[in-house]
Each structure stands twice: as C-alpha cells, then as structure tokens.
C-alpha cells in the first residue's frame, strides 16, 4: 500500500468535484428561466429572449443598445430604463444613480436587473436607431502632434442616420496589456449628409486606453466597430445668431453642425465660430474654415492661438478663447439680436465661456455644450 | 461515542448558556459590522440560522461517512470550508429563484456568511464533541438561533447608544466592543446551569 498518500488529495478533490457538479446542475435548473417576452413601449415591439442575464446585455443581444459607458459595472449610471413590470425594490448598487422622482417612475439601471419574467419596458424611440456598425478605416492623418483625423467607411454599403453634433462609441478590442474590450465616445466630425463615411477627430490622452489604441495600433485598412448615433448635442432654433466655441478636438461636433448647415443652405442666421488652441503647432483646419467663410456669407471664423510662435507671423486673435469672445460680444455683434451658444471642449473652457456668455445676457437655456473630461 | 445529552437541553444550551457569540466569541466580525441597524441584523441573523443548520448537518455526513472511512479526519478544516462555500452558493441560487423577496432581504449577507467563523466553529464543535445526528441538527439550529438573538440584542442596544454622548474616540467599534463585553459578562450568569461541553 505504497500509494496511501494519494488518498487524501483524491478524496478532497472528489468532494470538490462532486460539489461543483451539484452547483452546476442546480445552476442549470434554477437559472433556467426559459423564454421570456419583453414588451417594449406598450406592445409596439415584442421580443422573445432567453432569460437569466442582465437586461442590458439581453437587449444588446437583440441589437437594442442602451447607452452605457462603463459596460455594465454599475459605475456610470447611464443605462437607465423605465421598467413598468414589478422587478422588486431597487438594489443597493442602483441607489446612487436613481433620484427620488426616478424611483417613483420605476427607472432602473438595466445592467443590474436580471431578466426573469415577462417585462414591460419603455425605451425612447430614438434609441432603436442606435446600432453597432462595422467600419473600415480609410485614412488616418496627423492634424497636430497630438490630434489625428480618422476617416472610416461603413462596411457592406450600410448607411447611418444621425444628427450633426451626435457622437459614436468606439469599440476598442483588447490589445497589448489591455485585456478587456473598452468603449469610448468620440463626436462625429462629418456632416450627416454623408451617410456611409464618418470622420472623427481624436486627441491623444496620455495613458488613455482608447486614444493610445487609435494612435499606436489602429492602421489604415483596419476594421473599427462603432456604436452610434448617441447624444443630444444638436442645432436648436432657426433665427438666433450662433456663437460656436470649440477648443482643440472639440472641433468635431461643431464642424459637423456647420458643414451640415452649409450643405442645407441655411442662411437666415449669423454664425460666429471661435476656435481656440494653445500654440501655433496645435492649429488645424485653418484653410478649410477660411475657405468656408469665403463661400458662405453668414459664417465668420475666428481662430485663436493662445501663445503663437513669435516667428510664425500669426495675425489672428491671441490669448484664451474667452478674450476675443468678449471683444466680439462688446463691439462687433448686434446687441438686440437673440443669440445662442454652442460649446465643445474641456470643462474648464466651457465653464469660462458660459460665464462670459451669461454676463452678456445670453440665457443659460440658450447655451448648449458637449463637455469632455 | 455521542455524549448523553437530551436534544432539548442541547438546544437551550446552544442558544443561551453556550451562545456561540457571547460564550465562544465566534463570528465577531459580522457581529460588529452588521449590527448598526435592526433590519440588517435581522436579515443576517436569519441567514446564519439557515446556513448554520444546513452546513452542520451536511458536514456531519461528510465527516462521519467520508473522512472517517478514509482515515483523513485531519483534513476536516479544508473539507468543512469547501462544503460551507458550496452550500452557501447553492442556497443563494435556490433562494433567488424560489423567493426573490427573501433573497432581497438577505442581500449580500448570504455570500458574506461563507467567511463567518461561527459557521465553521459549529461544524468543528459538532465533530470534536462527537454528537450524533439528532444532536447535530439541534446543535446547528440552536447555535444559529443563539447567534441571531445575540445580534438582534446588540443591534437594539446600538440603536439606543446612537443617541448617547459617547466620547469621540470610542464611537463605532470601540463602544460596541465594550457593549459586547458587558453582554458576555451577563451571559456568564448562565454558566454552570447547563453543562454541555
């Protein structure tokens, strides 16, 4: 009996195996919720799905993409959805994101509730337009040392409908040391008139997972998956003068809006575009917009370089973007005409611009912005 | 040989005189952290009763019919822990399906119990004192009920203490440990009434 020493490990191992088999069997029996019906917007759409997973991923499998920045870890609180059926009280993981009013309306975090029984849901119609598109990267171009322009074409001659100002989520596959799929939002820079080609402007964020991927891994000809269209930054009203203010890669949504208006020949309102960058080498698309200014009489382009190189011969505005903004508001713009602000850039820039605009009598509900951190 | 104790005596003893918390000081971590309000304390207490009874009985079978048979009693610590972890996992799944309301009430407490040393302690006492099957069931249940009563008592006291002028340095766990000490001293009064050791 020289093999006695094997008894103990074998027995412990068998006990563990038996227990895990029992757990798996129970899991299969207990967590089999069978087919479950999801009725969306009082029966407008009825989906038959397999129960057992979270509502967010169940809907995702049915190609309904609720916005979710964190990917189902209950840290962003974006994937809210109205559930009309009773799915029990709110979970502790949901509470930080749900206000009292939302609680009464039974708004839930879709990543935290499990699909177990038939559910009645309410999903805003426009979310059905959100889809995952597969694209081919056709061009990657350096605009400045840390900003790249990405052009991509939708595969299989697909087309996308979106509003100028909306954004797309890049689906970044695992690469290098990054083991998990990541999603990051980038504004669409091309106007919605082009339905199968999309442009993006991506600034390198040091240490950023998605921007590092775009700058170091992504090549022309590669496939890039995006989820779009998302967001509610868009054109409002018809007659008010527009003050567009962007910093650096905040160019993207403003560019899309301006070219969209130009293509649609909207000439009833004056548009001032203040575009601010830090130094001479950070300036881009100068010719593009000067050209647009010549072709489109209502459009006025004001590029601003905070600290231009002394030898560059820069004749335009200098300083922070708020300084020429103030100057134009004081001297060059008709005081009596109603105005709107459209801002996109860093939180600091946006807050400073909102301050300037409100002190010049522009109401806060006429200021629209897309803040990126 | 199983000791000669009547199940009723053993039940009373494990609830009161040999309270797993206040006489044996097992399961203190969750006892201190989850006793801030009565509702959570009640939920955890009920979960402990359930898990303790079930795991002690299963460990009784595993120990007497498997470990003893193969002469590997010395592995009881590892085996008991594995069994406890697996049973908690199974109970969690079954309760979630059968009674979502109870599942919500127990919440995170159920998985937390896997690392509650009182659960392991009861299984080990069961083995050390060589209880028979009936005694094991009674002892597991009684210890669970004892744990539940103790945490309810502590939670009730802590809710009163909340309003008392406790010195800053003693707030929270400090005063709680003192309260537990006083409770344990009160329980010494029971000692000798029923001897089950």
Mark A146-170 as b/e (b = at least 16 C-beta within 10 Å).
bbbbbbbebeeeeebebbbbbbbbb
Helices A286-295 and A251-263, axial angle in degrees (round to 10): 30
> How many interchain CB pairs under 8 A, A with B?
49
- Residues A214, A325 share a domain: no
Q: Phi and psi for B131 in degrees, rounded to 5?
A: -70, 150
Q: Is residue B90 part of a domain?
A: yes
Each residue of A320-339: pLDDT tens digit? 999 999 888 888 888 788 89
User: Which chain B residues touch A if contact means CB-CB below 8 Å?
Assistant: 62, 66-67, 70-72, 75, 78-79, 82-83, 86, 89-90, 93-94, 96-97, 100-101, 104, 107-108
Q: Is residue A6 part of a domain?
A: no
Cα→Cα distances A318→A52, A301, A304, A359, Å: 59, 14, 5, 22
Q: Is residue B34 part of a domain?
A: yes
Per-residue pLDDT band for A230 (boundaries 50, 70, 90) equals: confident
A196's tokens: 């199968």
* Tokens 């601010």 sit on residue: A276
| Phi-psi group of B6: left, alpha or beta (phi > 0 → left; psi -120 to 50 → alpha; rest → beta) | beta
Q: Is residue A295 part of a domain?
A: yes
Cβ-nearest to A7 among B70, B79, B97: B70
Q: Is residue B195 part of a domain?
A: no
Q: Given this model, what pLDDT does residue A45 score?
A: 82
Q: Is residue A28 part of a domain?
A: no
Residue B197 pLDDT exceeds 60 = no
C-alpha–C-alpha distance, residues A23 and A27, integer Å:
6
Q: State whether residue B51 is helix, strand or coil.
A: helix
Which of the residue ranges A3-7, A117-121, A288-292 would you say has the lowest mean pLDDT? A3-7
CATH of the domain at A177: 2.40.30.10
Q: Given this model, what pLDDT does residue A372 score?
A: 61
Task: Using an 8 Å CB-CB cutoff, list chain A residues near B84.
Answer: none
Q: Given this model, what pLDDT does residue B193 score?
A: 74
Residue of B34, B75, B91 to mutate for A, most A C-beta atoms under 10 A: B75
Q: For a pLDDT cut of 90, what percent of chain A falls above it?
A: 35
CATH of the domain at A106: 3.10.20.30
Each residue of A86-99: pLDDT tens digit? 887 788 788 888 88
Domain hosting B140: range is 7-188
- Residues A209, A135 share a domain: yes
Give how far the C-alpha of residue B18 lies from the chain's centroid of Cα atoms, to the nearest Å.
12
Domains identified in chain B, total number = 1
- Residues A323, A212 share a domain: no
- Residues A141, A106 share a domain: no
Pick the most confident of A99-113, B130-144, B162-176. Answer: B130-144
Q: Evaluate whether A250 touches A347 at the Cβ level (below 8 Å).
A: no
More confident residue, B137 or A205: B137
Residue A308 pLDDT exceeds 50 = yes
Q: Is residue B1 part of a domain?
A: no
- How far does A306 lie from chain B, in Å, by closest CA? 53
What is the value of ipTM here, to two decimals?
Answer: 0.80
Closest among B26, B3, B23, B4 to B13, alpha carbons compared:
B23
Q: Is residue B2 part of a domain?
A: no
A187-215: average pLDDT: 90
Cβ-nearest to A23 among B67, B90, B101: B90
Q: Is residue A16 part of a domain?
A: no
Beta bridge partners of A193: none
Q: Given this model, what pLDDT does residue B178 score?
A: 93
A148-160: average pLDDT: 91
Domain hosting A182: range is 131-230
pTM, two decimal places? 0.58
Q: Given this model, what pLDDT does residue A373 score?
A: 45
Q: Is residue B193 part of a domain?
A: no
Average pLDDT, chain A: 87
Residue B47 pLDDT exceeds 90 = no
Give how far the C-alpha of residue B33 lies from the chain's centroid of Cα atoms, to the nearest Å.
15
Q: Is residue A183 part of a domain?
A: yes
A225-238: average pLDDT: 87
Decide if A27 and B93 are in contact by the 8 Å CB cutoff: yes
Q: Is residue B95 part of a domain?
A: yes
- Pairing mode, if any, of strands A131-144 and A223-230? antiparallel
Of A127, A162, A185, the residue that ends a domain is A127
Q: Given this model, what pLDDT does residue B49 score?
A: 92
Q: Given this model, what pLDDT does residue B196 score?
A: 65
CATH of the domain at A264: 3.40.50.80
Q: Evaluate whether B68 touches B127 at the Cβ level (below 8 Å).
A: no
Of A71, A100, A127, the residue that ends a domain is A127
Each residue of A53-77: pLDDT tens digit? 888 888 888 888 887 767 677 777 8
- Residues A135, A121 share a domain: no
Residue B2 pLDDT exceeds 80 = no
Residue A199 pLDDT exceeds 60 = yes
Q: Is residue A205 part of a domain?
A: yes
- Residues A323, A269 share a domain: yes
Residue B136 pLDDT exceeds 50 = yes
- Residues A365, A305 share a domain: yes
- How far does B73 lie from chain A, in Å, by closest CA? 10
Beta bridge partners of A199: A151
Domains identified in chain A, total number = 3
C-alpha–C-alpha distance, residues A207 and A18, integer Å:
46
Q: Is residue A11 part of a domain?
A: no
Angle at B114 between CA B110 and CA B116, to 5 degrees: 100
- Residues A267, A212 share a domain: no
Decide if A22 and B70 are in contact by the 8 Å CB cutoff: no
Of A98, A127, A156, the residue that ends a domain is A127
More confident residue, A2 or A305: A305
Residue A152 pLDDT exceeds 50 = yes
Q: Is residue A88 part of a domain?
A: yes
C-alpha–C-alpha distance, residues B131 and B139, integer Å:
9
A9 touches chain B (CB under 8 A): no
Q: Given this model, what pLDDT does residue A69 score?
A: 66
Per-residue pLDDT band for B85 (boundaries 50, 70, 90) equals: very high
Q: Given this model, what pLDDT does residue A1 score?
A: 56
Cβ-nearest to A23 among B72, B86, B108: B86
Q: What secondary structure, in 3-state letters, does chain A show?
A: CCCHHHHHHHHHHHHHHHHHHHHHHHHHHHCCCCEEEEEECCCCEEEEEECCCEHHHHHHHCCCCCCCCCCCCCCCCCCEEEECCCCCCCCCCCHHHCCHHHHHCCEEECCCCECCCCEEEECCHHHHHCEEEEEEEEEEEEEECCEEEEEEEEHHHCCCCCCCCCEEEEEECCECCECCCEEEEEEECCCCCCCCEEEEEEECCCCCHHHHHHHHHCCCCCEEEEEEEECCCCCCCCCCEEEEEEEHHHHHHHHHHHHHHHHCCCCCCCEEEEEEEEEHHHCCCHHHHHHHHHHCCCEEEEEEEEECCHHHCCCCEECCCHHHHHHHHHHHCCCCCCEEEEEEECHHHHHHHHHHHHHCCCCHHHEEEEECC
Q: Given this model, what pLDDT does residue A59 score?
A: 87
């Amino acid at each position: 009996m020289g093999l006695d020493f094997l008894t103990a490990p074998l027995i412990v191992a068998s006990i563990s195996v038996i227990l895990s088999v029992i757990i798996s069997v129970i899991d299969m029996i207990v967590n089999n919720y069978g087919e479950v019906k999801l009725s969306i917007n009082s029966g407008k759409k009825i989906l038959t799905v397999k129960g057992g997973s979270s509502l967010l991923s169940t809907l995702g499998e049915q190609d309904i993409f609720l916005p979710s920045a964190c990917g189902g870890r209950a840290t962003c609180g974006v994937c809210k959805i109205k559930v009309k059926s009773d799915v029990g009280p709110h979970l502790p993981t949901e509470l930080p994101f749900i206000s009292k009013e939302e609680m009464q309306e039974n708004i839930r975090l879709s990543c935290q509730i499990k699909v177990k029984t038939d559910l009645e849901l309410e999903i805003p119609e426009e979310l059905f337009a959100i889809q995952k598109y597969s694209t081919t990267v056709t061009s990657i171009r350096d605009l400045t040392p840390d900003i790249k322009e990405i052009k991509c074409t939708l595969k299989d001659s697909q087309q996308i409908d979106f509003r100028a100002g909306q954004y797309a989520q890049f689906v970044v596959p695992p690469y290098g040391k990054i083991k998990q799929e990541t999603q990051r939002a980038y504004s669409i820079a091309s106007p919605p008139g082009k339905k199968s080609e999309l442009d993006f402007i991506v600034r390198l964020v040091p240490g950023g997972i998605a921007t590092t991927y775009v700058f170091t891994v992504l090549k022309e000809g590669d496939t890039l998956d995006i989820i779009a269209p998302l967001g509610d930054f868009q054109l409002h009203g018809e007659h008010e003068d527009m003050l567009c203010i962007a910093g650096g890669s905040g160019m993207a949504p403003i560019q899309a809006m301006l070219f969209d208006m130009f293509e649609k020949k909207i000439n009833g309102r004056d548009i001032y575009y203040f575009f601010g960058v830090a130094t001479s080498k950070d300036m881009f698309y100068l010719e593009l917009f000067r050209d647009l200014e010549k072709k489109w009489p209502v459009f006025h382009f004001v590029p601003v370089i905070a600290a231009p190189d002394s030898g560059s011969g820069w004749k335009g505005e200098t300083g922070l973007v708020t300084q020429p903004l103030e100057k134009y508001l004081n001297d060059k713009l008709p005081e009596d005409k109603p105005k709107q602000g459209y801002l996109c850039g860093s939180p600091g820039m946006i807050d400073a611009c909102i301050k300037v605009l409100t002190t010049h009598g522009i109401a806060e509900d006429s200021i629209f912005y897309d803040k990126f951190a | 040989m199983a000791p000669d104790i009547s199940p009723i005596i053993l039940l009373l003893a494990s609830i009161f005189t040999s309270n797993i918390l206040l006489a044996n000081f097992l399961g203190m971590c969750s006892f201190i952290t989850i006793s801030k309000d009565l509702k959570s304390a009640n939920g955890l207490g009920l979960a402990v009763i359930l898990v303790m009874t079930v795991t002690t009985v299963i460990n009784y079978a595993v120990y007497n019919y498997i470990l003893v048979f193969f002469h590997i009693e010395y592995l009881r610590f590892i085996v008991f822990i594995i069994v406890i972890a697996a049973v908690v996992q199974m109970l969690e799944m079954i309760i979630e399906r059968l009674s979502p309301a109870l599942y919500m009430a127990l919440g995170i407490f159920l998985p937390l119990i896997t690392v509650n040393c009182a659960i392991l302690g009861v299984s080990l006492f069961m083995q050390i004192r060589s209880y028979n099957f009936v005694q094991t069931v009674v002892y597991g249940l009684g210890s669970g009920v004892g744990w539940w009563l103790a945490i309810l008592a502590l939670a009730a006291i802590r809710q009163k203490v909340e309003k008392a002028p406790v010195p800053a340095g003693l707030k929270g766990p400090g005063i709680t440990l003192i309260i537990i000490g006083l409770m344990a001293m009160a329980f010494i009064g029971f000692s000798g009434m029923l001897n089950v050791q």
